Amino acid sequence: MNSQRPKPQCVKGFRDEFGHDVISRREMLTTIATLFELHGFDALETPAIETLDALGKFLPDTDRPHEGVFAWRDDENYLALRYDMTAPLSRVAAQYRNDLPSPYRRYAIGPVWRNEKPKVGRFRQFYQCDADTVGSSLMAADAEMCLLTLKILSSVGMTKEDFVIRVNNRKVVESVLEKAGINRDDEGQYLTVMRAIDKLDRLGLGGVQQLLGKGRKDASGDYTEGAGLSESQIDVVMGFMSAKGRDAATTVKNLEDIVGTSPLGQVGVNELREIMEFVEASDQKSGACEIDPLIVRGLGYYTGPVFEAQLCAPVHDAKGREVELGSVAGGGRYDGLVRRFTGQDVPATGLSIGVDRLLTAMTMRQEAAKFVGPVIVTVMDKFRMADYQAMASELRDAGIRAEVYLGNAKNFGRQMKYADKRQARVAVIEGSQEKEAGTVQLKDLQMGKSIAATASHEDWKSQPSQVTVLRHDMVKEVQRILSGT
């Protein structure tokens, strides 16, 4: 029988990740987890698979039931890969409500899956880092999420000039839609309007107007059905979108005028005012947080304050093209999510860091940490492998990543090419002469590249990239090279 060989390719929207990317993410996850624990959040791990009913239908896609998730049917239920960390938390909060403290503060870190159209920085599998407080209705809990997001982004290498945290309230938006005659019970139209507002930064006023009306066709030819609003309804919504003032106080005043006597709108405006008072008192008025009526968040379970962390400056790919990444973090209040299981209101609020998107942005802006591969102990004599393994062990005992070259040792040039592909900073060389003299040679591969590319002959002689040191000083000298001193 003739069998066709499978094509070695990754599924669209997914990716294979190698050493550098995996280590960069791991370091970022460690930093974030440390901050979560420092703020009193406990770790929680839930299964990657939930029942489809437990996850609920809250993703932006509305064309058919449960679009946007990877789902299948088992013997009894429809199951799905989790699309975020919040829906599983609501199931846990309901299932263990008699055992958990209230408020319950938890953090979760792991991959989630969405069956959506992939874009630059947006994949079908990606990591999220969430922190949530379940059981508190205080606006101090929402303000804490904004401040914690600010602290996390600063701790992973971004400055407060790199991003801004924009805050809004779904209650204010709902009161405006109510004023425009948009029925909250018409979930399809309601969510279409909300998501149209959320896309202003990407589509501009013209694109949003099209989505509020009949619909819009993008550059690829894909058509998005609009909300079908009348011209007068569109005018009300577009007027609300221009409510942002020069500062928080001005924006709050504008929103007060827009919501008028709406009880829901007044509550929303007061919650925004209270959050900003907490933030400004804790953040020394750095200006990293601001009120923005355009922030609505795409997920359908938000019920109150919402926020997003957005980059202030555009990022560009390797070809210099501007890349739209959207928000790198966000969150908000979802007081009705646990009620789906218990029938009782349980207040909750949280944040989510989009690690993959954040790493993509930092890499494009060349702010990610420079990857350094292991120290390579070269093999000059295949009968002395025990000596070379002993060198590697000494380096590892000192906390230095190291390995012995295990390929074809006959060709030294091949060993250097291997070290280059491994992005090694240092190669250790001990031939028979060095062994007899009690020395080793240390080759600074990074300096060698730099000198070869830019230095004059005199500079090359004065800055040797290869030095000979006593064998017992090997670890100390490797540490010096790695530290750049």
Specify the pLDDT at position 459: 47
Q: Would you say residue 278 lies in a domain?
A: yes
Q: Where on the phi/psi map is residue 93: left (φ > 0), alpha (ψ -120 to 50), or beta? A: alpha
Q: Does residue 380 share a domain with residue 246?
A: no
Shared-domain flag, residues 128 and 97 = yes
Percent share of the chain, pLDDT over 90: 50
Q: Answer whether 166's CB lies under 8 Å from 295's CB.
A: yes
Segment 337-393, tens digit of pLDDT: 999 999 998 999 999 999 988 888 887 766 545 678 899 999 999 899 999 999 999
Give residue-wise pLDDT tens across range 117-128: 877 767 899 999
Looking at the structure, tell me whether residues 163 and 276 fall in a common domain. yes
Q: Which structural domain range is residue 61 located in?
A: 19-364
Please state, in angstroms and rounded to a whole number, the distance separating the CA atoms of residues 227 and 364.
36
Report how far residue 360's alpha carbon sits from residue 322's, in angstroms, rounded to the nearest whole number.
Answer: 13
Domain boundary among 317, 335, 364: 364
Domain count, the chain: 2
Q: pLDDT tens-digit profile of 220-258?
A: 778 888 888 888 888 888 888 888 888 888 999 999 988
Same domain, 251 and 125: yes
Q: What span, in angstroms and rounded, lies between the C-alpha atoms of 35 and 403?
A: 33
* Across 108-112, 180-184, 461-465, least confident range: 461-465
The answer on 327 and 241 residing in a single domain is yes
Q: What angle do CA 200, 204, 207 make, to 5 degrees?
A: 95
pLDDT of residue 243: 86
User: In this structure, are 286 and 429 located in the same domain?
Assistant: no
CATH number at residue 473: 3.40.50.800
Type of residue at 364:
M
Q: What is the mean pLDDT of the chain?
A: 86
Taking the CA atoms of residue 345, residue 347, residue 353 and residue 354 in that order, the dihedral angle to the nearest 10 degrees is 20
Contact by Cβ (8 Å): 339, 345: yes
Rg of the chain over Cα atoms, rounded to whole angstroms, equals 28
What the block records as the tokens of 402 is 């190291």
Per-residue pLDDT tens digits for 165-187: 999 999 998 898 888 888 777 76
Residue 93: pLDDT over 70? yes
Is residue 161 a contact partner of residue 153, using CB atoms and an 8 Å limit?
no
Q: What is the pLDDT at residue 449?
A: 63
Closest CA to 311 of 152, 136, 83, 158: 158
Question: So what's the pLDDT on residue 196?
Answer: 82
Asked if 196 contacts 212 with a C-beta cutoff of 8 angstroms, the reply is yes
385 and 356 together in one domain: no
Are residues 310 and 392 located together in one domain of the fold? no
pLDDT tens-digit series, residues 313-328: 777 776 677 777 778 9
Cβ proximity of 158 and 260 under 8 Å? no
Dmax over Cα atoms in the chain, in whole Å? 91
Contact (CB, 8 A) for 322 and 316: yes
Query: Which spans in 39-117 are helix H?
Result: 52-55, 86-95
Residue 188 pLDDT > 90, yes or no?
no
Residue 442 confidence (pLDDT) above 60: yes
State the pairing for strand pair 42-43/104-113: parallel
pLDDT for 147-165, tens place per residue? 999 999 999 888 878 889 9
**Is 460's pLDDT higher than 50?**
no
111 near 126, Cβ under 8 Å? yes
